[in-house]
Amino acid sequence: MIDYQFGPRFRPGAGTEFRLWAPDHGNVEIVLLPPSGDTLRLAMTPQPNGFHKLAVADAAPGWRYQFLVDGEGPFPDPASRRQANDVHGPSEIIDSHFQWSDQAWHNPPWSSAVIYELHVGTFTREGTFLGILSRLDHLCDLGITAIELMPVADFPGRRNWGYDGTFMFAPDAVYGRPEELKQLVDVCHSRGLAVILDVVYNHFGPDGNYMWPICRRFFNARQRTPWGPGINIADPVVVDFFKENARFWIDEYHFDGLRFDAVQALESSHRIGFLSQLRNAARAAAPDRSLFLVVENPANQSELLRDSGEGAFDAQWNDDFHHAVHRLVTGEQYGVFQDYPVPEESLERILRHGFSRQGGFSHYRKRSVGTPTDGINLDRFVNYIQSHDMVGNRPLGERLNHLVTWETFQTAAALYLFLPGIPMLFMGEEFAASTPFLFFTDQNPELGNKIRQGRLEQHLSNPRWRDKKRWDTIPHPQMESTFQASRIDWDDANRNVHAIDLYKRLLCLRAEFIMRLDRRQESFSVERDGRLFTLVLRDHRGRDTVACVANFDTQAHAPPERIQPAAWRLLFTTQAGAAPELPACSARWLKRLE
């Protein structure tokens, strides 16, 4: 167990030691709130480097506490382990001990990963950590090897995507107690499922950010982000805070990996070094386990995926792939999709090299984006046709299956599940969920209205929503009905068995024929004829092994010259009983005959 310098440390028989980093304050006191008895107010002792410390022999799990800094407050602990009464309430001491049963657990190899992204609050009717347990059979039967939880750090209110978190060490009490999150991870491991956590280190949420009055040094007021002042990642103690947080989730909760949100929003001159330290800290927390460490970085900095001697991240969420496929199948051209004016060409580059732009100018971002990916294996890219962002940032939260025909949806699924990159499903995708996934919050009314207005203005790039008279039809993020509408309707899984069968079949074939193949760019062949894509994976000896032919055209095509029926065995087709030619909007997987 790691000895943390941020947050309380309870030791049975020895009480609790409290520590607070408040370098701008000389007088720090702790207010202790025992479950029964009188409130205690005690002075803390200054320590080197701006810390303040106090050990209290009888302070035990269940006690609540707050801080006073130079008479201001009381404030909860920014490194709190539990906020039972939400972000403005006192912090709670917890016992970190848990009876783990996963001593023999080992992550599956990264190359075999199939990720399932989910939001704890809307994945089940219960909306809790333990509620997820009821759906593990479904995920295992489907062929999932890792679930990825959207952020769980404590956020304001009873509903949120999680990216407004303000207590980085405290799982939100709405989802359950800390030991229940540990139970979820432990049970997942017993079922052969890895668990990845989405963490947000580029900002604190706007409500409940008590690091601001306690330690302004934590922030860089000169750097503005969409969420307020940037994080001061040039300060060594600030870096230590986030390194500890990364280690905390791996060590104390046994998570198998982390997904680092929007790293492009970190201050640019220190970004690479900061991320390198986070990566190394996470790996050091579990030196005997392989971890899945993934970044979200629309800046497409391939250096994060290269081993420079200090290691590399395992992969990056590949927005390029989503955007090119989405424009190809929906025809939408606004916003970020304007960077893919000829989506067939963009998708061909992405399939070959991972990124579309590798230094080219982005009209959407108004700057050059990307660096070359030469030599980077294709399993460093996480590919998806839906995600929380890509669905939830739409005004009406439509999923891809709401926007295209079933034939087109099948073709897109067959394409991305074939790729040597790592596939990621978004919850409900596998049974063509009827429910949207909308943006929802439970902020105070003033802040909630500002958020509502800001998001409405973001939709102006979409021609459909330039008429402000139509904005009233967009669900208000503050309304509980918006949250409720986003809950998965599991009856869809019974209604759409054909969709589940599609994903099961493809993931089964992927495990059988693709998992062990070479993931180097030179071992993956891509040929294109208009909107017809022919993908061939080769083995380590350079021999064609399996192929996917995906036709996004509205016209049928003859089989590509390279894929003649006499030399290949059909593994899967989206249109059973079809003639040798490839029908419009269809896909096939094939195995080369020996």
Select from 127, 133, 277 the least CA-distant residue to 195. Answer: 133
Sequence-separated contacts (24+) of 334-338 with Cβ below 8 Å: 334/461, 334/462, 334/463, 335/364, 335/461, 335/462, 336/364, 338/363, 338/364
DSSP for 208-233, please give it. Answer: S-THHHH-GGGEEEEEEETTEEEE-T
DSSP 8-state code for residue 118: E
Q: Which residues pair with 538 in a beta bridge?
A: 544
Q: Return the structure tokens found at 310.
A: 């200090």
Please state, in angstroms and rounded to a whole number, the distance separating the CA atoms of residues 6 and 153. 16
Strand, helix or coil at 286?
coil
Q: Which residues pair with 549 in a beta bridge?
A: 534, 588
Residues 6+ apart with CB under 8 A from 35: 62, 63
Q: Which of 86, 154, 296, 518 is catalytic?
A: 296
Residues 6+ apart with CB under 8 A from 314: 110, 257, 291, 292, 293, 294, 380
Q: Which of 198, 244, 251, 261 is catalytic?
A: 261
Select from 122, 148, 261 the least CA-distant residue to 199. Answer: 261
Strand, helix or coil at 33?
strand
261 is catalytic: yes
Residues, the chain: 594
The answer to whether the CB of 509 falls within 8 A of the CB of 520 is no
Torsion of CA 556, 557, 558, 559, to 10 degrees: -120
Torsion of CA 47, 48, 50, 55, to 10 degrees: -20
The backbone torsions φ and ψ at residue 292, rounded to the nearest 5 degrees and listed phi first, read: -105, 105
296 is catalytic: yes
The answer to whether the CB of 526 falls within 8 A of the CB of 533 is yes
Report the catalytic residues: 261, 296
